[in-house]
Structure 1
Amino acid sequence: MPVHYYRYLYEQVGRQHHWMLRRVQSDAEVAEAIHAETTEIHVLYADGCPAGFVELELSAKPDTVEILYFGLIADFQGRGLARFFLNEAISAAWAHSPQKVTIHTNTLDSPRALQLYQKMGFVPVAWSEEEVEQWL
C-alpha cells in the first residue's frame, strides 16, 4: 500500500478520534511500519470506494495479534458495516493462530465502539489516561 493512500485512510478514519501516532511519523517511518512483515492492513470497500481500514500488529506480544487501528470513514458509519468488518478483522487476526486477539479503544472513539467490541467477545482489561494533541 502506498504511504499516501495509507495516510488518506488514516486521516479519514482517525481524524475525528484524534489518532496521532502515524500522523507525527515521517513518510519513511510510516512506510517502515506499514510494510513490515508483522503488519497486515485490510481495506473495506463499499460501492467501489474505501469505507474503512484495519491494521493488525502481529508482533505486539508473543502469541498475540493486536488490532492496532480499526474504523470506518464517517460517510459509511451507521450502515451496519462495522460489525461485518470487525468480524472480518477478527477472523484475519485468528488466522495467524495467536493465543489472543486484542484491541484498544478510548473515550475519543465512537461512543458505540466499546459496545461493539464487547458484543464481538472482547472484554475490558485495563484503563489508562493519555493526553492527545489537537488535530489541526
Structure 2
Amino acid sequence: MSAEPQTLDTTITFLEMTVPPVKRYPLPLGVNAAILHAEKPQLAFYRFLQFQVGYPWKWEYRLRMDDETLASVIHADTTEIYVLYLDGAPAGFYEINRADPASIDLAYFGMMPHAAGRGLGRWLLSRAIEACWASEPERITVNTCTLDHPAALPLYQKLGFQPVRREDSTLRPLSKTDLHRLAEQGIVQG
C-alpha cells in the first residue's frame, strides 16, 4: 500500500472577461433544474457542497477551514452563493466574490457527478456569468487548475473567458484525518 501524497503539483490558469458575453445558454429541454441564492448557508451545507462538487478535483482549501474562518468568508456581505438543484436535490453551486467592485471573481463553480452529462454546464456557467456582470464591473475573473475537471478550462473559454496568466503551484490533498473529521461532522460518509 502506498502512502498518501503529501502534495500534488498543478498549474493554475487565471482567466478574465472584460465584456459581457452576447450568447445566453438556455436550460436544456426536459431538465428539472433551478438555481437558488443561498443566503448565509449553514456551514455543514456549504461543506457538503464543497465536498460533493470538489473532492474528485482535489478542492481542499475551504474544507480545512475552522468554523469561524469559514463563516467569516461565506457569510461576508461580498460573498454570494447560488445552489443548483436538479430534480429537487442539490447538484452544484457557484460562489461569487464581490470584494473588489471593479473585478468580480467567480470563486467557485462546479457540479456534482450526478448532474454531469445533462447539458447543464453551459447553462449554469452562463447564469453565473450573468450574476457576476449584474453589478457592472470592469471585468470578471475565474481560475482553474490542471487538477480540475478536464472540461473546466475549455468551458470557461467557450463562454468568453480569456487566459491572462499561468502559475505553477502545489496543494495538499485531504488526508484520512481530514476525511475522518468531515465524517464526524456528517459531511461525508465515514
TM-score tier, shorter chain, comes to over 0.9
How far residue 62 of structure 1 moved from its aligned partner, in angstroms, is: 4.8
Partner-residue secondary structure (3-state), 1:117:
helix
- Extract unaligned runs of 5+ from structure 1: none
Partner of 2:136: 97
Aligned 8 A contact 2:103 2:141 in 1: yes
Partner-residue secondary structure (3-state), 1:129:
strand
CA distance in 2, matches of 1:111, 1:3: 28
* Identity across the alignment (%): 44
CA distance in 2, matches of 1:62, 1:7: 26
CA distance in 2, matches of 1:91, 1:112: 20
Partner of 1:37: 77
CA distance in 2, matches of 1:74, 1:84: 16
Q: 1:71 aligns with which of 97, 105, 110?
A: 110
CA deviations on 1:75-111 (whole Å, 9 max, x unpaired) are: 1112111110000000001001111011101101111
How far residue 134 of structure 1 moved from its aligned partner, in angstroms, is: 2.0
Partner of 1:118: 157
Partner of 2:22: none
Q: 1:23 aligns with which of 63, 67, 86?
A: 63
Which amino acid letter does the alignment assign opposite residue 104 of structure 2?
A: V
Q: 2:49 aligns with which of 9, 32, 39?
A: 9
CA deviations on 1:4-57 (whole Å, 9 max, x unpaired) are: 000000000111111122111101111111110010000000100101000100
CA distance in 2, matches of 1:129, 1:57: 23
Structure number having the greater helix percentage: 1
Q: Which runs of 4+ in 1 moved over 4 A?
A: none
Of structures 1 and 2, the larger Rg is shown by 2
Superposed CA RMSD in Å reads: 0.9
Q: Is 1:49 the equivalent of 2:89?
A: yes
TM-score (norm 2): 0.69
Partner of 2:127: 88
CA distance in 2, matches of 1:62, 1:90: 15
CA distance in 1, matches of 2:60, 2:135: 27
Which structure has more relative contact order (CA 8 Å, sep 6+)? It is: 2
CA distance in 1, matches of 2:137, 2:106: 12
CA distance in 1, matches of 2:101, 2:81: 20
- Range 11-20 or range 64-73, more displaced: 11-20
Partner-residue secondary structure (3-state), 1:101:
strand
